[in-house]
Chain A
Amino acid sequence: MSRGWRMAMVATLVVVLVIALTPYLWLIMTSLKSRIDALADQPVWLFTPTFDHYPKVFIDKDYLPLLWNSVVVASTTTLLSLVVGVPAAYVFARHDFAAKEDLFFFFTTRMAPPISVVVPMFLLFSYIGLIDTRTSLILAHSTFNLSLVVWMMRGFFADIPREIDEAAQMDGHSRAGMFLRVLLPLAAPGMAATAVLCFMLSWNEFLYALILVAFEGRTLTVGIPGLVTPHGTLWGQVAAVAVVATVPIIVFTVIVQKHLVRGLTFGAIKG
């Protein structure tokens, strides 16, 4: 390739990266700006950072419980989805039965529109008194995380060569024993990636949380619009909440990048 071409390519990539990253950088900067800098007529790029907004919103405005709720909801739904979903994924990867394809379709539920699921869920949960609890959100998030687990883990189990099953069988393992002692350890890296993805999906989720939890069970994502008012939004504080809600995601993205393609395409594309 000619030199000019390569220069043009690098230049385009730099422009793309600037476009991709500036909004997030601006958010982080806003969370560190004084009110005067944040609301200035001319955008301020250089400023003395202030860390006031973080304690103000998390301690004075009592947003720490929201962070805790996010952590509890995301970890519990991840655990629940893995415990329930991994064995099912194994069956889909290794067993053959008549209704398999139909049953598997069942697990496309991750694509169901949340707004349609949450309408009846809201009514049922109010009926049994689950509204505004973390439990309601854990259950709601498990609907999509469970199908994510089944789709992803099915792929990881299918990647394990069948000879391993046969060898385990020869060694006298029962099917359940083989699953627990042989296949599960082999699928562990895939399971870790799946867990991280589940955690992220729940952590980022907004619509279920908006409808199902109002006060006690609120998570960080629902805390964000609560601070955006038509008049006098405290941008520094909202930005601080948003930064805390997004930083773990950046870390996780780096961890699971290798498996993202599979996770985000329901295992349709291996990546």
Chain B
Amino acid sequence: MTVKESGVAGWLVDRGVAPVFLAPSLILLVVLLVGPFVYMVGISFTDLSYALPNHDGNFVGFDNYRRLMRDDPIFWSSFATTLGFVAATVSIESLAGLGLALLLFHHIKRRRFVLTLLLIPMMLAPVAVGLMWKLMLQGEFGMLTHYLRVVGLLGAQTAPLSTLSLVMPTIVLIDAWEWTPFVTLVLLAGMLSLPREPFEAAIMDGAGPLRIFRDITMPLLRTIIALVLLLRGIDAFKEFDKVFILTGGGPGIATELLSIYTWRINFREWDLGYGAVVAFMVYLVVLILCSVFHKAIYWTEARETRR
């Protein structure tokens, strides 16, 4: 779908406009992303470390990769923790988000105002989110810990963030608190943009709300739901800020998600050669997820234009 390049004189002179307009952004991205990326891959073949003597970037071949595959159970347990976190948060958020979106879809009065209030959790800085929940879940004076103890859901001496069995569910719920509004916002937008005719026809035919939801709403929303899940999945996979503030990965390594593990290896143990491999792995996983997302978008767009 090119603009028709005919007619007015001087138009052809501007044919060079595309490269000129694109160049600055491409250069910036190459310098800021591709450059460091290549550098990281380079470092991953060295023993660079700021903590050990004589580890100043000697070439070690695939040693770091071998170590990742064979001798680093913590990486793999962190990988599993992350996958668990992603699965738990994405499923809770999508169910709660869908429910809320349906609720708001039918609740017309002051919908916009209610939605604005609902968006607050996800717009605040994640660090602030982590902080406010840490404050509420403090062992000695936390507001929420106090009430949970009063209702008997929490033992007198237990604090959710330092108890091994409670810490992961707590963090999942906090993430759900933060991001359910996102799912709601996007699904509601999707619902409001649906054509009215199928619904009217179904109501005329006497279909109940459940049937309408199952046979009309869900199929029409399918692609949007898929995109939202994918986006949330990618984001959850990268989670760092909240968990860093809330637990720092602890107790032990109970909540050490991949991004926190990568941070620890690189910026606490200063094991940079090996850290580059770990960072590279995280990159790869996200890259794969992103290309799925990218394909999904092109697929949706192509389908929409065909319609």
Quick one: closest A residue to B123, CB to CB?
A253
Given contacts A253-B119, A268-B300, A269-B224, contact A246 B141 (CB under 8 A): no
Chain B residues 172 to 189 lying within 8 A of chain A, measured CB to CB, are 177, 181-182, 185-186, 189
Give the residue of B25, B36, B147, B286 whose beta carbon is less than 8 angstroms from that of A113: B286
**Is B116 within 8 A of A146, CB to CB?**
no
Within 8 Å of chain A (Cβ to Cβ): is B153? no
Tell whether, in the assembled complex, residue B146 and residue A42 are in contact, meaning their CB atoms are under 8 Å apart: yes
Q: Please determine whether B117 and A21 come into contact, CB atoms closer than 8 angstroms.
A: yes
CB neighbours of B4 from chain A (8 A): 166
Contact A245 B128 (CB under 8 A): yes
User: A19 in the interface, Cβ–Cβ < 8 Å?
Assistant: yes
B89 interface residue, CB < 8 Å from A? no
Contact B125 A249 (CB under 8 A): yes
* Bitwise interface map of A from 1 to 44 toward B, beta carbon under 8 Å scored 1, else 0: 10000000110110011011101101100100000001111110
Contact of A24 with B132 at beta-carbon distance under 8 Å, contacts A140-B32, A265-B227 already known: yes
CB pair A27–B131 under 8 Å, yes or no, is yes
Known: A113-B282, A174-B11. A105 touches B40 (CB 8 A): no
Q: Is B193 an interface residue, CB under 8 A from the partner?
A: yes
A17 touches B135 (CB 8 A): no
Q: Which of chain B's residues 112-161 have a Cβ closer than 8 Å to chain A? A: 112, 114-121, 123-129, 131-136, 140-141, 143, 146-147
SS class of chain B's interface: helix, strand, loop or mixed? helix
A184 at the interface (CB under 8 A from B): no
- B132 A26 Cβ-Cβ under 8 A: yes
Nearest-Cβ distance from residue A123 to partner chain B, whole angstroms:
7
Q: Is B231 an interface residue (CB 8 A)?
A: yes
Give, as a whole number of angstroms, the nearest-CB distance from B165 to chain A.
22
- Chain A residues near B (Cβ < 8 Å): 1, 9-10, 12-13, 16-17, 19-21, 23-24, 26-27, 30, 38-43, 83-85, 87-88, 90-91, 94-97, 101, 103, 105-109, 111-117, 119-124, 139-140, 142-143, 146-147, 150, 162, 165-166, 169-170, 172, 174-176, 179, 200, 203-204, 206-207, 210-211, 221, 224-225, 228, 235, 238-239, 242, 245-246, 249-250, 252-254, 257, 260-261, 264-266, 268-271
